[in-house]
Chain A
Amino acid sequence: MMKQAVILAAGEGQRLRPFTVTKPKTMIAIAGKPILQYVIEALARNGIRNIIIIVGYRKEQVFNYLGAGEKFGVNIVYITQEKQLGTAHALIQAKGAVQDEFLVLPGDNLIEANTIARFITAKPQAVLVKKVENTARYGVVTTDGDMVRSIEERTGDTECDIINTGIYAFDERIFDFIEAELAIPDVINNMIAQGSAVSAQETEGTWLDVVYPWDILSLNNAILRQIPPSLGGTIEAGAYVKGTVSIGKDTIIHSNSYVFGPAVIGENCEIGPNVCILPATSIGDNVVISPLSSIENSVIGKDVNIGPGSIIEDSVIDESCLIQGRFTACSDETEVRINDELHQVKIGAMLGVGCNLKSNVVAQPGVIIGNYSQVQAMKLLSGRLPDKSTVF
């Protein structure tokens, strides 16, 4: 059985901007926890406590959050990949730090303990695969019985098929095959071509990927359904909590507020009076939601302050935004451009960290506001604004 794991957490997640300007993709919070934490908890629950994390882009965020791993019952050693030259290059950084057999996992796919429960006994070299509806952005694995024939990216072809989860069981021989290749699937194809056997094992467990900003909402929705209810704060008389809701330490839900689960509310928050938190909403620590606001299917980062009378749906509001009263983030079907791709999605607003919105700002569906943007009162926001924009 595997005793050690290498987590690849050096990448940026460029398509997730503005959320990945200040943190790596692995540190994007889903239902109150960074994706990387789900990976570490899955490993810890399977008894794998020696963890090497390959860090690079915005590594301080990882250091600050995970420390030496004590809080999660694991031992973490960090190795820095100075330039992000692909997954195989990231893995080779761990050469010398790992012995015998080890697991390799991407730090930016959300998994749970059952995802890898069986795979930790797999004999190297092995690939964990999963059947998905849409293979568009993944490597499709062609097998011959239990053995892998090849891993290939297929563009345009989107039928139901098995794909590569990016989770591998390797031993030290893998390092002999890493040369100029930049991605682990290339290395595996190479090994197979040179006659090595690589097996495939399928998982039925959770394996979720976040690629575009709105994926944060669907992952949040999926994970919130599984979170057990808990109460660490105070619910004032006249406030009503229904469904599975987790409320952090020292948080106060003031009178006449309604919280409909599934929802997660962090520590030290002040909600209401007269606030509605509607299903599939996650709220970080130290958040203030002022009276007469309504929030639905959204992710609110820590230290956010939302003024009175705000309506927020299908939106992501990142850390430390200061939003005055009557902010409206409407949701509807809309076209959003990421790089050169057009996407048809139903979303509200995506706000980067530290935005400062004065009162009565209205965000049109699909708006993406860069980090630290300043918006004057009574403005209508549309399209995409770069970081540190000023809207007068």
Chain B
Amino acid sequence: MCGIVGYIGNKQAQPILLGCLEKLEYRGYDSCGVAIAGKDIEVYKDAIRVKMLGEVSPKLNGTTGIGHTRWATHGVPSQINAHPHLDCSGNIAVVHNGVINNCQELKARLIREGHTFTSETDTEVIPHLIEKYYHGNLEEATAAALDDIDGSYAIIVLAKDRAELVVARKDSPLILGLGDRENYIASDVPAILDHTDRVVYLEDGDLAVITRNEIKIKQNGSDVRRDEQKVSWNVEEAQKAGYEHFMLKEIHEQPKVIRNTLAEYTRATEHPVDLLGARDTGTDSMLLLACGTSYHAAMIGKYIIRELLKIPPRIEIASEFNYYSDVLSRAVAIAITQSGETADTLKAMKKLKEAGCRVLAVTNVVGSTASRIANETIYTRAGPEMSVAATKSFTAQLMALYWLGITQSRIDARKLASLLTELRQLPGKVQQILDDEAIIAKQARNLSRFENVFFIGRGINYPVALEGALKLKEISYIHAEGYASGELKHGPFALLGESSPVIAIVSKDNTHDAMLTNIKEVKARRSPVIALAEEGDEAIEEVADAVISLPRVESLFSPVVNTVALQLLAYYTAKERGCPIDFPRNLAKSVTVE
């Protein structure tokens, strides 16, 4: 999604803004730009990478400025459509993340009033509206402009000859970073971590005036206080630290993430949500809600909750849920979102809350919008995830769901103790897979030659098949489909053959024999089969063309080890094909528009 940054202080703004923008790259973008207030406002922008922009742009002199990475929604990626956008006079510059719904109407009106537009973007109406209302007070003009706008936004406004920046947010993330006689503004924390760890999270509807020495925040015209928070992430975590790609680094961080998450949850003595209370209020009483990879975590969560709590939860893709005309009463909804800013999930959460549901958020970002909408939040402790393809955040989400299930279930104490011991062993098992990644890399070389791949699994590993396919397609651009193994016969069989390999995810549980049969059926259609199976599973070794052997774990936890193996498979396949792994084409890290 688009990312915005701003700086006001006593240092040269241009290099600082470019550095911050590079830190926002992980959100995905197609163009970028900066505006610096010197004698005049100077803008440099283009449909290129931030690094290139830094190399080709002239040195812009000034200590106040704004910057933007754009992910096209209105208008193609181009120099003209890149932000910042200016008003007619060139004295007001704006960067914007969000979508303006009534932009056609506003644009028509402004053109009638004599304004000239240069781009196809919705954003450009903002500087023109501010210009219209500007009579010497930038804050009031911005507030008046925003009153006209129907839509979502996080904006930073820069005006000539004003020692201030005006910022505002509604349904798009925005944070302030506090420095010593300087202040930072950004879409999220990693952008400014190099400069400060003191952060203020703005709320929806906040409008703030930022000078180098102070920040003043207003909500509906009256002053409000927002507490400063210390960020516990450090810059080290925001760097690749020796690894070739963020994705590989993040895959390798998973043993630590599991360990940290367990330690954190063990420490918390009170359980954040009484899911069993939900059970007592009725049968159809729990809803899991998410998008993308988080949706796959939610699907596994459905099995976990059903297995441990004996509640049959419902599960919905957030963007689809929003089309139901009504919300049936439910005691608790669990919304899962890594960034805590996924627009569709947030919309669904608001709708549920308005309908009187209790909403629990599972998110990786402290202070994110999701955590503020939710009644309660379980934080995953994955740390910042830079790669667009989610890996460690997915594993951390699973840990949160396991913890929810285990701590609240009514299973007997001995079973509980044995599950906890198993969970403690999980980091070591994952490490074992990572230590043997060369075996998976070898299979990836083989897989990289194909253009169509099927992933199949059953039971709790059916969502893993979906996640494995998603990882492969998003970073290696190979067409990949995940199926519940039983569904393969209902159509996809027609596509099997020598050129369509099948990745079979086998667990040693009640699905094992059916999976074995499926593999034989697939083999009969001459598709090459790579199986993920527990080490020593001779029955599978006999039928599959290749086996990736994985350490034995309790079936309930098998999605963790299987997913890690599939992440590595996708990574090495993409690497073999020379793909830009951390920044796949057309994709954004957090999807903050519907």
Partner of A62, one of B242, B262, B551: B242
- A303 to B266 CA separation, bound complex (whole angstroms): 14
B253 touches A70 (CB 8 A): no
A322 touches B421 (CB 8 A): yes
Per-residue contact bits, chain B 497-511, to A (CB 8 Å; 1 contact, 0 not): 000000000000000
Q: Which residues of B contact A250 (CB under 8 A)?
A: 263, 266-267
Mark out the residues of chain B between 230 and 279 whose CB falls within 8 Å of any chain A CB in the assembled complex.
234-237, 239, 241-243, 249, 252-253, 256, 259, 262-263, 266-267
- Whether B427 sits at the interface, judged by CB under 8 Å, is yes
B263 touches A267 (CB 8 A): yes
B239 touches A67 (CB 8 A): yes
- A267 to B263 CA separation, bound complex (whole angstroms): 9
- Whether B431 sits at the interface, judged by CB under 8 Å, is yes
Mark out the residues of chain A between 319 and 347 whose CB falls within 8 Å of any chain B CB in the assembled complex.
319-320, 322
A contacts with B, residue count (CB < 8 A) = 32
Q: Shortest beta-carbon distance, A38 to chain B, in Å?
A: 20
- Whether A34 sits at the interface, judged by CB under 8 Å, is no
Given contacts A68-B236, A71-B236, contact A63 B259 (CB under 8 A): no
B256 touches A67 (CB 8 A): no
Q: Shortest beta-carbon distance, A198 to chain B, in Å?
A: 33
A63 touches B252 (CB 8 A): yes
Mark out the residues of chain A between 325 and 383 whose CB falls within 8 Å of any chain B CB in the assembled complex.
353-354, 372
- Whether A288 sits at the interface, judged by CB under 8 Å, is yes
Mark out the residues of chain B between 515 and 559 whose CB falls within 8 Å of any chain A CB in the assembled complex.
535, 551
- A372 to B432 CA separation, bound complex (whole angstroms): 9
- Whether B424 sits at the interface, judged by CB under 8 Å, is yes
Q: Which residues of B contact A64 (CB under 8 A)?
A: 252-253, 256
B263 touches A305 (CB 8 A): no
Q: Which residues of B contact A322 (CB under 8 A)?
A: 421, 425
A67 touches B237 (CB 8 A): yes
- Whether B199 sits at the interface, judged by CB under 8 Å, is no
- Whether B435 sits at the interface, judged by CB under 8 Å, is yes
- Whether A69 sits at the interface, judged by CB under 8 Å, is yes
Q: Which residues of B contact A303 (CB under 8 A)?
A: 259, 424-425, 427-428
* Chain A residue at minimal CB-CB distance from B243: A63
Q: Shortest beta-carbon distance, B19 to chain A, in Å?
A: 15
* Chain B residue at minimal CB-CB distance from A80: B242
- A388 to B266 CA separation, bound complex (whole angstroms): 31
Q: Which residues of A contact B551 (CB under 8 A)?
A: 354, 372
- Whether A59 sits at the interface, judged by CB under 8 Å, is yes
Partner of B434, one of A59, A60, A68: A60
Q: Which residues of A contact B263 (CB under 8 A)?
A: 250, 267-268, 286
Mark out the residues of chain A between 278 and 300 whose CB falls within 8 Å of any chain B CB in the assembled complex.
285-286, 288
Given contacts A63-B249, A67-B236, A70-B235, contact A320 B266 (CB under 8 A): no
Q: Shortest beta-carbon distance, A290 to chain B, in Å?
A: 10
Q: Which residues of B contact A66 (CB under 8 A)?
A: 241
B421 touches A59 (CB 8 A): no
Q: Shortest beta-carbon distance, B330 to chain A, in Å?
A: 35
Partner of A59, one of B234, B236, B242, B262: B242
Mark out the residues of chain A between 293 and 321 whose CB falls within 8 Å of any chain B CB in the assembled complex.
302-303, 305, 319-320
- A98 to B101 CA separation, bound complex (whole angstroms): 56
A319 touches B243 (CB 8 A): no
Q: Shortest beta-carbon distance, A121 to chain B, in Å?
A: 30
A68 touches B428 (CB 8 A): no
- A78 to B432 CA separation, bound complex (whole angstroms): 24
Q: Which residues of A contact B535 (CB under 8 A)?
A: 388
- A208 to B137 CA separation, bound complex (whole angstroms): 69
- A62 to B242 CA separation, bound complex (whole angstroms): 9
Q: Shortest beta-carbon distance, A310 to chain B, in Å?
A: 15
Given contacts A22-B435, A286-B263, A320-B425, contact A70 B242 (CB under 8 A): no
- A258 to B301 CA separation, bound complex (whole angstroms): 42
- A63 to B263 CA separation, bound complex (whole angstroms): 22
Partner of B427, one of A55, A267, A320: A320
Q: Shortest beta-carbon distance, B221 to chain A, in Å?
A: 43
Partner of B252, one of A60, A267, A354: A60
- A176 to B267 CA separation, bound complex (whole angstroms): 57
- A71 to B232 CA separation, bound complex (whole angstroms): 12
* Chain B residue at minimal CB-CB distance from A71: B236
A63 touches B266 (CB 8 A): no
Q: Which residues of A contact B424 (CB under 8 A)?
A: 286, 288, 303, 305
* Chain A residue at minimal CB-CB distance from B239: A68
- A280 to B235 CA separation, bound complex (whole angstroms): 36
A354 touches B236 (CB 8 A): no
Q: Shortest beta-carbon distance, A353 to chain B, in Å?
A: 7
Q: Which residues of A contact B432 (CB under 8 A)?
A: 353-354, 372
Q: Which residues of A contact B431 (CB under 8 A)?
A: 22, 319-320, 353
* Chain A residue at minimal CB-CB distance from B430: A320
Q: Which residues of A contact B242 (CB under 8 A)?
A: 55, 59-60, 62-63, 78
Q: Which residues of A contact B241 (CB under 8 A)?
A: 63, 66-68, 76, 78
Q: Which residues of B contact A63 (CB under 8 A)?
A: 241-243, 249, 252
Mark out the residues of chain B between 410 and 436 whose CB falls within 8 Å of any chain A CB in the assembled complex.
421, 424-425, 427-429, 431-432, 434-435
Given contacts A63-B241, A250-B266, A372-B432, contact A285 B259 (CB under 8 A): yes
Q: Which residues of A contact B253 (CB under 8 A)?
A: 64
Q: Which residues of A contact B237 (CB under 8 A)?
A: 67
Partner of B259, one of A58, A286, A305, A372: A286
Partner of A319, one of B234, B267, B428: B428
Mark out the residues of chain A between 45 and 90 whose CB falls within 8 Å of any chain B CB in the assembled complex.
55, 58-60, 62-64, 66-71, 76, 78
- A60 to B429 CA separation, bound complex (whole angstroms): 16
Q: Which residues of B contact A58 (CB under 8 A)?
A: 435
- A288 to B429 CA separation, bound complex (whole angstroms): 17
Q: Which residues of A contact B252 (CB under 8 A)?
A: 60, 63-64
Known contacts A63-B249, A70-B234, A286-B424; 11 further A-B pairs (Cβ under 8 A): A22-B435, A60-B242, A63-B241, A68-B239, A78-B241, A288-B421, A302-B259, A303-B428, A305-B421, A353-B431, A372-B551
Q: Which residues of A contact B (CB under 8 A)?
A: 22, 55, 58-60, 62-64, 66-71, 76, 78, 250, 267-268, 285-286, 288, 302-303, 305, 319-320, 322, 353-354, 372, 388
Q: Can you list 24 A-B contacts (CB < 8 A)?
A: A22-B435, A58-B435, A59-B242, A60-B434, A63-B243, A67-B239, A70-B234, A70-B235, A70-B236, A250-B263, A250-B267, A302-B259, A303-B427, A303-B428, A305-B421, A305-B424, A320-B425, A320-B427, A320-B431, A322-B425, A353-B432, A354-B432, A372-B432, A372-B551
The 9 lowest CB-CB distance pairs between A and B, nearest first, are A320-B428, A70-B236, A63-B242, A78-B242, A67-B241, A67-B236, A268-B263, A68-B236, A68-B239
